[in-house]
Chains A and B, each alone.
Chain A
Amino acid sequence: MISVKRATLDELVDKISQVPDPEVPVLTIADLGILRSVVDGDDGVVVTITPTYSGCPAMGFIRDQIMAAASSCGRPDTRVEFVLSPAWTTEWMSADGRRKLTEFGIAPPQPVAVMMESSPLAIIHRDSIQCPNCDSLATEVISEFSSTACKALYRCTTCSEPFDYFKEL
């Protein structure tokens, strides 16, 4: 029989914080700001996460990964809950997360403010989206909808490489 040492809350939080985003595995759910809290109560541990987009298909998988991490720490008495409010925003992404995104080849999100105010006919003005490959600022948008719900597709006119941009939300 294999016995697993029951982790302390700190060890558990540490382990759960390292659960990677399945789409962008260099980012953890802590980097993304998805992980909201880990509370050790009378009837077990409650991990609270916030979905990024309404239909994000990774949330179920992330939940399973959190459960697996908790079990491996000797805490199978864990459950995962989703909260929708306050709504997840890219503002919650850590500086570390932004750096990792760039290294991975995805341009990190700009501040949210401008986009929400203007008319639907106004082009979204994004200043200085930097090419993650060659650092050039001479980039242009191809489509607001890219490989996943959270990303837009950009092109660098200097090195000609396309790249994903993590949309401000």
Chain B
Amino acid sequence: MIDQDLDLVIYLVRHGDDNLVLGQRLGELVSYMPELEEDIAVANVGLDHIGAARNFYSYAAELEGFGRSEDDLAMLRDEREFTNAVLAEQPNGDFANMMARQFYYDAYQLPLYTSLADSSDERLAGIAQKAQKEASYHLRRSAGWLVRLGDGTEESHNRMQAAIDELWKYTEDLFYADEVDGALEERGVLPVGAGDRDQFDATVAEVLAAATLVAPSDDYQRTGGRTGFHTEHLGHLLPEMQMLYRSHPGVKW
């Protein structure tokens, strides 16, 4: 029985990590966005991600049975233990860069959560049903900005093209699959096709075309996040996020 739960725990933590790291990146932007509506949007979207992370972590913590809490999972693990895809930890950069990262994530998460909503695991299905509705709103916003910036001025177009080109190399990590996924698929916890990239590729193609952007080339992909091999950036993000909790273990407010 323990092996079965371990597979699901690993899977849950991967997605908890995706959402936590992305939520943290968005939190960094609050009060810095160029207009008020976008500041509020980034806070709302970030909050959705943090909430999803809490849902994934709480379930994982219960299943693993080591007495860890969702906070422990978020705040007491080191870089090599984090299993987010490397795309999440990429720095915010300019507005276009932030939007490109968000768009790639939204295009990935919406079909994933739509699929997971049919998981044989009731609680995972519940988490996914919730996250899927929110991902739909996220994708509308990020796709909208890609079009506005891509099909915008010469400067916005150039920055948007640079952003999608720069971040494309971190997208394959989103679709990393190993024996954990295989085992969960066999049990029906992962519906068939849950980790597929077809819908992601179709959405990216559709939006880039509307945005008059050239599809990025596929030469090099940096993977490894799902097994704890991150880019340098996570090493800077984690201490900032975890310092307060680690300075005051067990703090409550």
Contacts and interface: CB of A to CB of B under 8 A. Distances in A.
B68 interface: no
Majority DSSP secondary structure for residues of A touching B: loop
B52 interface: yes
A36 B178 CA distance: 38
Given A120-B207, A148-B44, 9 more contacts: A84-B55, A84-B126, A84-B127, A120-B203, A143-B40, A143-B41, A145-B40, A145-B43, A149-B134
Interface of B: 37, 40-41, 43-45, 47-52, 54-55, 106-107, 110, 122-123, 125-127, 129-131, 133-134, 136-137, 139-141, 143-144, 147, 203, 206-207, 210
Interface of A: 51, 53-57, 83-89, 115-116, 119-121, 124, 142-149, 153, 167, 169
Nearest to B132: A87
A84 B129 contact: yes
Contacts of A115: 136
A138 B210 CA distance: 29
Contact of A145 (B141, B147, B206): B141
Give 3 nearest A-B pairs by CB, closest first.
A55-B51, A85-B126, A54-B51
Q: Which of B40, B43, B106, B134 has the most CB of A within 10 A?
A: B40
Given A115-B136, A119-B206, A145 B126 contact: no
A142 to B, nearest CB: 7
A83 B131 CA distance: 14
B251 to A, nearest CB: 16
